[in-house]
Structure 1
């Protein structure tokens, strides 16, 4: 297991929190991009009804 050798050089007390923070930041970046680049998502949270155009569009 080559990946396990990293713990010979870096303490798990250091690398595990860093990996967790990277995971959290990546998740927040994805959520921010969805919220800022779509027009329908805010309407969805506000409970807006689906328009006829969106309901008639075929799923990809």
Structure 2
């Protein structure tokens, strides 16, 4: 193991839960940032438009015919 000597400084009973807690906090903060800074994630989680109706509503309008 590359960092095998680390466990002589930090006990595994402290280091492993600390590492897993940091991963959990980081993951939670990324998901919270996505929810607060995007509109499509909230709509997706709330069961917004289906992909078929969303695709048709986001499609560009056909250009008007020139006379």
Same fold at TM > 0.5:
yes
Q: Give the structure with higher Rg (CA).
A: 2
1:12 corresponds in structure 2 to 12
The alignment yields a C-alpha RMSD, in angstroms, of 1.8
Taking structure 1 as the reference length, what is the TM-score of the superposition? 0.77
Higher relative contact order structure (alpha carbons within 8 Å, sequence separation ≥ 6): 1
Structure 2 residue ranges without an equivalent (≥5): 60-67
Which structure dedicates a bigger proportion of its chain to helix?
1
Shift of 1:10: 1.2
Taking structure 2 as the reference length, what is the TM-score of the superposition? 0.70
Shift of 1:48: 1.4
Q: Number of aligned pairs? A: 55
Measure, in 2, the Cα distance between the counterparts of 1:34 and 1:7.
Answer: 35
Structure 1 residue ranges without an equivalent (≥5): none
Q: Which runs of 4+ in 1 moved over 6 A?
A: none
Measure, in 2, the Cα distance between the counterparts of 1:35 and 1:18.
Answer: 26
